[in-house]
Structure 1
């Protein structure tokens, strides 16, 4: 397994794959650690998770630099990611005892019922490269709080980040082997899913990969949580504040170099404000500075891999061949690094990749809608449903649209955001199922055990 700096194309490190026996031994060691951890109190687990949060802050700059080297995100974005991870640790440690507390119920026949949330064992996480710390922390911290053990198969290109996270967990006091990084290939991963000691599987990635992983887990009756891709729509309604709309839609598209499942990707603009929005949006996207992700003045770093850039460019070309227009960007830069400019496509319509698929990079699809109702229809005209946004001066109406009409797991009104520890994260349709954050992630992989006693 080899890691490469996408800004320079220089090789960083090479890591040996585990043998089959080493992989099984690592799983068995994680299970043995779980057998001890499961009996710790919620409060005791929380104290260690708080310590993990502090250790992340202590090593923030070191970790941020490594993430930027491995996958090319802007250094400030890497620092923000570590802050988010530390915040997840703090919130989970505080909220966990209440979320996981026993619940007592009076039964109709006079007996007493107790619902207790018991940990189930080792949870296997298959995670992508776009947030090397956050993707792992998001499921790991919730499951550790619940009393489970955790295995991580990270994306190859951020292997170093996965190993650093393991070290941070253990330096903070987490028992050795309870959080284990698996350096394995796809066939070994399938064997791991099938193993009796793996009790649940969580995966973040594309819908295609998620379908395969869920099917493999289903063969063995393993519960899964799937956080998959999307082509999130941001609606610019007739009463939108255009300054807010342009600022939000630029940030939402280029954040993390445009490589985020919950990035804003389709911009559905009502006819009344379309021309004014597009004029301002094209200028703002055209002004985005492409360059070295370690420099403060850089607005957009490289894509994480060469093949990802090639796929994105092919999607742009296919969309243009089917009628889309390149209004800004759209040209593959020369030179070292997997850079791709901030790009805006207009005249986007059904049948084009820019309308139907997920463009995982800094390419915005602008779609004209007749009015607010038509904008909502177009937003829901997608097989995906992870996040989305509404830009409107009437926040009460936007809230009603979000609640009653937007067919997606998360809606951001008059702003763009990635995730918040206090709020559930997840989607519907081809964007997956299950929830993380907000306490929901702590109860995805537990046994809601019913205990009844005489009255």
Structure 2
């Protein structure tokens, strides 16, 4: 009997659907079909690929209500937030279609004795291993760039959002993408290593934990295959003495509780200089305390459940360990009774190095508040992390804040006086244990291509 995987509604703990896992032979057959599709997809004119990608974006907007409801059902995203994720996906399609000719176009360069031509050619089948927290966006951001570049794509999605994976596969075909250019694999983690080594797989991209990144990156390196890794973070948001405190508090609150706090680039550590700490802390605590969790299908709900029971258990363990290590829990921190995987907004203070709340990524609505003496210490504390994905800085001296962010903040992305999610026009990715490689802004289109040099004489 074939193994099965069940999806669970995190708001009530009840089953949604049951899926049959593919055997190794079935997965291999899908890989081969996706490689066969590459042989002719790579020859499809770029203009035609772009037209299909535009159609995908259009269809995503048309089906926004349907996909928003599916996100809420499968991973508990508040219904009011799903539309933003879908619009970002559509914007990625639009940007990719509009700029692909410039990003992927041939370049001519002269050399002594001849002329050179640089061309960006697709590699082949790209395997994407994606998480559940943005079940559409995580897929679209790598798949669209690869498809536009002429590659074909495999998706191993998180099993708690397999409904979304299959719905996207269907939508892509309805938008005009030929079958097998984008292929969903219903497989478990134990099958991934073997697929990375498959001779028809040419590259792999992962969004996940550092442990998963080490495993995937190591296997890809062993097989001499290109990889792109986005591995989460522990993003620091610095509040300087001249910050607009009311604006900073509002942005920090949203940066912590958006998507249930289950966001790689969520605001997680709040580093506040001594002179404004008390004012920030009072207003921050008041606004956090006003947020309660609730039914994610209610348009007024700001905070839904965590996506799985084990994720909630892990988060609570981190809170309890931090308190045992000396942090003060000023808000929340208690497991609620009742159905579903809910966790209250939680504020930890007196957070210091060595504590889980300082060193680890807290994937949920738990804020770590850190008091520092001045700007120099704030920068040191912000950089005192093994991660380096995103971050933020609040100061009314925008020029000075920009200089700090540009020259001193060791992350891949930084918000200044605001909290913004990923942007279709700008590169997305990190440094240190947050991984390597870039997506968005055209950078993702060049991750999995052969940058080929032609030297022409005569």
TM-score (norm 2): 0.98
Q: Deviations over 1:47-66 (max 9, x none)?
A: 00000001111111111101
Q: Does 1:50 align with 2:59?
A: no
Residue in structure 1 matching 2:92, options 83, 88, 101: 88
Q: Deviations over 1:63-113 (max 9, x none)?
A: 110111000011121111111111110110001111000010011x13101
Q: Deviations over 1:351-382 (max 9, x none)?
A: 10000110010000000010111101100000
Secondary structure at the aligned position of 2:172 is classed as helix
State the alpha-carbon separation in 2 of the partners of residues 71 and 307 from structure 1.
Answer: 13
**Matched-pair contact (CA < 8 Å) for 1:143–1:150:** yes
State the alpha-carbon separation in 2 of the partners of residues 226 and 78 from structure 1.
Answer: 25
Residue in structure 2 matching 1:418, options 414, 417, 421: 421
The equivalent of 1:137 in structure 2 is: 140
Q: Does 1:375 align with 2:381?
A: no
Displacement, 1:289?
A: 2.4
State the alpha-carbon separation in 2 of the partners of residues 19 and 375 from structure 1.
Answer: 51
The equivalent of 1:310 in structure 2 is: 313
The equivalent of 1:271 in structure 2 is: 274
State the alpha-carbon separation in 1 of the partners of residues 269 and 45 from structure 2.
Answer: 46
The equivalent of 2:109 in structure 1 is: 105
Residue in structure 2 matching 1:261, options 258, 261, 264: 264
State the alpha-carbon separation in 2 of the partners of residues 221 and 327 from structure 1.
Answer: 49
Q: Which contiguous aligned blocks of 4+ residues in structure 1 show a shift greater than 2 angstroms? A: none
Paired residues for 1:222-301 under 5 Å: 222-301=225-304
Displacement, 1:440?
A: 0.4
Q: Deviations over 1:157-198 (max 9, x none)?
A: 000000000011000000101100000122321111001100
State the alpha-carbon separation in 2 of the partners of residues 350 and 188 from structure 1.
Answer: 37
Residue in structure 2 matching 1:188, options 168, 188, 191: 191
State the alpha-carbon separation in 2 of the partners of residues 36 and 64 from structure 1.
Answer: 34
Q: Does 1:148 align with 2:151?
A: yes
Displacement, 1:421?
A: 0.5
**Matched-pair contact (CA < 8 Å) for 1:101–1:117:** yes
* Number of aligned residues: 454
State the alpha-carbon separation in 1 of the partners of residues 170 and 306 from structure 2.
Answer: 27
Gaps of 5+ in 2: none
Secondary structure at the aligned position of 1:293 is classed as coil
State the alpha-carbon separation in 1 of the partners of residues 409 and 328 from structure 2.
Answer: 28
Q: Does 1:450 align with 2:453?
A: yes
Q: Does 1:17 align with 2:25?
A: no
Displacement, 1:310?
A: 0.5
The equivalent of 2:395 in structure 1 is: 392
**Matched-pair contact (CA < 8 Å) for 1:289–1:297:** no
The equivalent of 1:114 in structure 2 is: 117
Q: Deviations over 1:200-233 (max 9, x none)?
A: 0000011111111111111111110000110000
**Matched-pair contact (CA < 8 Å) for 1:95–1:439:** yes
Displacement, 1:17?
A: 0.5
State the alpha-carbon separation in 1 of the partners of residues 18 and 44 from structure 2.
Answer: 37
Displacement, 1:30?
A: 0.6
State the alpha-carbon separation in 1 of the partners of residues 53 and 393 from structure 2.
Answer: 35
Gaps of 5+ in 1: none
Secondary structure at the aligned position of 1:192 is classed as helix
